[in-house]
Amino acid sequence: MKFVDKTKIRVISGDGGRGCLSFRREAYVPKGGPDGGDGGKGGDVFIVADSSLDTLLDCQYQQLYKAARGQHGMGKNRTGRSAPDVFVHVPVGTLVWDAVTGEMLADLDSPESRFLVARGGRGGRGNARFATPRNRAPRRFEEGRPGEEKTVILELKLLADVGLVGLPNSGKSTLLARMTNATPIIADYPFSTKHPGLGVYGGENGTKFVMADIPGLIENAHKGAGMGDQFLRHVERTRLLVHVIDADPSLIPDAETRFSTIMNELESFNPNMSKKPMIVALNKIDVQENKAAACIVRKAFEKRGFRVHEISALSGEGLSQLIQEIRTLLDVRE
């Protein structure tokens, strides 16, 4: 399925129904009074967070959501039927922005949370509502109020406890697949991951956390290089970062430089990124020559105050310790 995390839609709520102008016509009633009923309310348009969705693809294909108008009032004091509401289903973590003013209207950050984006028009009053002792036969009635029309931008920011960051081909997708129920595309070339992947770790004692693989981060990503900054927004909501580094000896001499490259991109996008708890994961130590190189660079990162784990996403070596560290930090943050 195509991953879409930003799109624009137009919403139109329903107009209210017209009030009725009517007088009673009954046998043996010499003076029938007004009996025009009110019009029905127009349909509202709601945006609803749906936990079964993980992309805004549906909203990209259908960009107009329009509710029906309320039914007109009728004689015999019958009120017109209100129109049904329209619900736009979006993934949990979707932000709703006014496309004209740029104002954030809602943050749908929990399942089933909803936002009334366009209110339906109120039904007009029928002439029975205007009867008074002085005016017993009013010919006045109201048209229904018009509905609202808005253009909004929907922006998805994934809700995950742990964000996996690092340069392409560092093994993030393999780590996500090994630790969670996710099934990402894994290949030995850069940019094999085309969109963020989500997975849920389910451990002993019911422990669970959500992990996200953030693809496409290279130097100047925040300026549009590589896949650009289109996925950087998904790191903003994570509570903890795991920075995955390839422990290949040919790359290790530049490990700190490559680490700084990613950190600079995160901070250029949002300065608060550097304040998140972070674990450095030196990956691919299942290859013998990588172990010695990882040991050397580990000491350098530990001197800088980072928590460092030597792991193999492929074989599973070191993952139990990494998981325990993640659980500990997440508990501290709760």
pLDDT the model gives residue 198: 80
Confidence of residue 220 (pLDDT cuts 50, 70, 90): low
Q: Which of 129, 17, 141 is nearest to 72 (CA)?
A: 17
State the average pLDDT over residues 46-70.
Answer: 94
Residue 225: is its pLDDT beyond 90? no
Q: In the chain, helix, strand, coil percent, each to 5?
A: 25, 25, 50
φ/ψ of 275, rounded to 5, equals -85, -10
In-domain check, residue 203: yes
3-state SS assignment for residue 258: helix
Tell me the one-letter amino acid at 97: W
pLDDT for 204 equals 67
pLDDT in tens, 115-166: 999 999 999 999 999 999 899 889 999 999 999 999 999 999 888 899 999 8
**Same domain, residue pair 127 and 175:** no
**Is residue 1 one of the residues assigned to a domain?**
no
Q: What residues pair up with 50 in beta bridges, in sequence order? A: 91
Q: What is the pLDDT of residues 99-120, one digit of tens each?
A: 999 999 999 999 999 999 999 9
What's the pLDDT score for residue 271? 86
What residue numbers bound the domain in which 29 lies? Answer: 6-156
User: What is the percent of the chain with per-residue pLDDT over 70, rounded to a whole number?
Assistant: 88
Question: What amino acid occupies position 126?
Answer: G
SS3 167: coil
Per-residue pLDDT at 189: 42
Last residue of a domain, one of 130, 156, 182: 156
CATH number at residue 15: 2.70.210.12
Q: Which has more pLDDT, 124 or 238?
A: 124
Do 123 and 168 fall into the same domain? no
How much is the pTM?
0.77
| pLDDT 10s digits, 1-50 | 567 889 999 999 999 999 999 998 777 766 678 999 999 999 999 999 99
Q: At residue 56, does pLDDT exceed 80? A: yes
Q: Tell whether the model's pLDDT for residue 200 goes beyond 70.
A: yes
Of 133-142, 197-206, 309-318, least confident by mean pLDDT is: 197-206
| Number of domains the chain contains | 2
Bin 69: left if φ > 0, else alpha if -120 < ψ < 50, else beta.
beta
122 and 66 assigned to the same domain: yes
Regarding whether 260 and 242 lie in a shared domain, the answer is yes
Last residue in a domain, options 113, 137, 156: 156
Q: Which of 96, 129, 156 is the last residue of a domain?
A: 156
Q: Are residues 35 and 59 in the same domain?
A: yes
Per-residue pLDDT at 224 exceeds 90: no
One domain for residues 91 and 134: yes
Are 208 and 125 found together in one domain? Answer: no
Give residues with Cβ within 8 angstroms of 95, minimum separation 6: 104, 106, 107, 108, 154, 155, 156, 157
Phi-psi region of 57 (alpha: psi -120 to 50; beta: other; left: phi over 0): alpha
Enter the tokens of residue 34. Answer: 């007004």
- Residue 187 above 50 pLDDT? no
Alpha carbon distance 135, 126 (integer Å): 14
* Whether 151 contacts 99, CB under 8 Å: yes
The predicted structure's pLDDT at residue 255: 84
Distance of CA 291 to the CA centre of its chain: 40
